[in-house]
Amino acid sequence: MLALRNWTRRCFSVQLFENSADAVEDIRTGSRIAVGGYGSCGVPENSLRALHTLGTYHHTVFTATSGLAGWGLDPLLKAKQIRRLVTSYPGSNASFQRMYHDGEVELVVIPSGSLSARMYAGGAGIPAIYTKTGVGTIIEEGNFPIKYMPGGRGVEIFSAAKEKRRFRNKDHILEEAITVDFALVKAWKADTMGNLVFRRTAANFNTVMAQCARVTIAEVEEIVPHGQLDPDDIHVPAVYVHRLYKGEFYEKPIEHVTFVSRHSPALSHDPLKPAKLKIARRAARELEDGMTVHLGVGIPGLVAQYIDPSLNVMLHSESGALGIGKYPQAGTEDPDIVNTGREACSLLPMASCFSSNDAMDMLRGGHLDISIVSGFQVSQRGDLANWLIPGKYSNGVGGSMDVIAGEESRIIVTMLHNTEGKPKILKECSLPLTGQKCIDLLITEMGVFDFNREDTLVLTEIAKGVQLSALKEATGCSFLVASDLKPMPS
């Protein structure tokens, strides 16, 4: 009976701490640490400040996004306390970019869905998973530069190739489960037993990170006596939480804020804005009543502003929401509500919020009608490249490969036709692929192309004022012209 009592006490008691410094005090140099959050939403900022002050080094950190300059993980990166960053989206942090290319920090890029699923597997005692995400890409084949030599003189460590196996006539790659020594997570409320409740999209990756850790340290905005939380409202049961404290103070910044007036989008100054908005308006016309639709980063994020208000369309976000709305009006932004692009947004009355792991399951499982993503390059057979330019820093793969893995969903790519006068529609993609033969429809400012007719690239709509000869000259491959070619709606 003694062994049973010890086991029960270990699993169903949480240590309450007065402050963040005491909660992280025993995180030693070289620890494997999972850090919750999506962009700057749901980030355990007090624990990270305390870990920075603690001054331990050579950590391997698992996180969805690296966040903002001067905040969150950034001070630890600048202080070289992090040896290896394992993430799906390292972001555009200039200091991290320099450190990575100078060989001062290692970078492992994992698709968002694989990251969350591998953490889920680690917490569930599953040693590995097979997934379609990343098949036929650098994720499967390896040779991604994890570590550069000092001063950027060549690559010291490359990623390894993945084992591949065929299930149901489809190729899948093997991904090992992730477990960590510590998880730093941030919730909205907790009770004194350690049950956690999140608010809106702040659940994101925090839930699976709490599950895969030997020690989970949760900071919250409010702690209530046990019994005050409705059991149906609890997102992470106390069995996964080992240490708990109320955060000293919260900045809760928003990574990207775009406001709209009551009449039209007030987007950032961009000479290409008219073309991007034109593409977004056209993409919105593909949406029909009752659809569930994923919007990716970039031009796809603008589509929400142009959806016919009479349609009942549910927009999906990797941050963990179904029912994303438009950008907020000034003064109504909420740091706990962000979209896939880590932008402040609104929620529709019928919206639901959940973990990013659930959000990625919806993508990979093909539960959505349409996924709209951006592109760097597209091939005439429907290959997509949209995350990596060799020799340049990559903001990360995000969930793009998980989108492609959802074979039941229709994939629409929105992108500018050319970049700096160079065609982006090519016979073969020259950039590393996101997915092979995965695109159903391509929309640029010059026209609309269908990949499902004649098993090749077919122009179905041409923009007003664009001559067919000019469009052919701007395209890096041949294409067919539909017999029922239509003008592209403005």
Evaluate whether residue 254 is within a structural domain. no
The C-alpha atoms of residue 84 and residue 110 are separated, in whole angstroms, by 13
CA-wise closest residue to 102 among 141, 59, 156: 156
Evaluate whether residue 310 is within a structural domain. yes
For 147-192, write each residue's pLDDT tens digit: 999 988 899 999 999 999 999 999 999 999 999 999 999 999 999 9
Res 12: pLDDT: 59
Is 18 one of the annotated active-site residues of the chain?
no
Query: Which of the residues in the chain have pLDDT under 70?
Result: 1-12, 261-269, 453-455
Q: Which two tokens stand for residue 326?
A: 């438009």
- Residue 330 dihedral angles phi and psi, to the nearest 5°: -55, 130
- 422 and 459: one domain? yes
- 319 and 363: one domain? yes
Domain boundary among the residues 246, 264, 298 is at 246
Res 92: pLDDT: 77
Evaluate whether residue 214 is within a structural domain. yes
Res 234: pLDDT: 97
Question: How many Cβ atoms are within 10 Å of 329's Cβ, its own excluded?
Answer: 13
- 286 and 236: one domain? no
The C-alpha atoms of residue 183 and residue 302 are separated, in whole angstroms, by 34
Domain boundary among the residues 231, 246, 261 is at 246
Evaluate whether residue 260 is within a structural domain. no
The number of domains in the chain is 2
Q: Where are the alpha helices (DSSP H) in 222-294?
A: 273-284
- 456 and 312: one domain? yes
Q: Which two tokens stand for residue 36?
A: 């919750």
- 220 and 297: one domain? no
- 352 and 429: one domain? yes
Question: Contact at 8 Å (CB) between 140 and 401?
Answer: no
Evaluate whether residue 7 is within a structural domain. no
Res 1: pLDDT: 38
Res 427: pLDDT: 95
- 79 and 135: one domain? yes
Q: Which domain holds residue 55?
A: 16-246
pTM value is 0.93
Enumerate the β-bridge partners of residue 353: 321
- 205 and 278: one domain? no
Q: Where are the alpha helices (DSSP H) in 297-372?
A: 299-302, 356-364
Evaluate whether residue 34 is within a structural domain. yes
Q: Which two tokens stand for residue 37?
A: 């959050």
Res 49: pLDDT: 98
- 195 and 234: one domain? yes
Res 406: pLDDT: 85
- 47 and 127: one domain? yes
Evaluate whether residue 43 is within a structural domain. yes
Annotated catalytic residue within 104, 106, 318, 333: 318
Evaluate whether residue 455 is within a structural domain. yes
- 212 and 277: one domain? no
Question: How many Cβ atoms are within 10 Å of 350's Cβ, its own excluded?
Answer: 9
Pairing of strands 447-450, 441-443: antiparallel
CATH code of the domain in which 309 resides: 3.40.1080.10
3-class DSSP state of 474: coil
- 478 and 342: one domain? yes
Res 428: pLDDT: 96
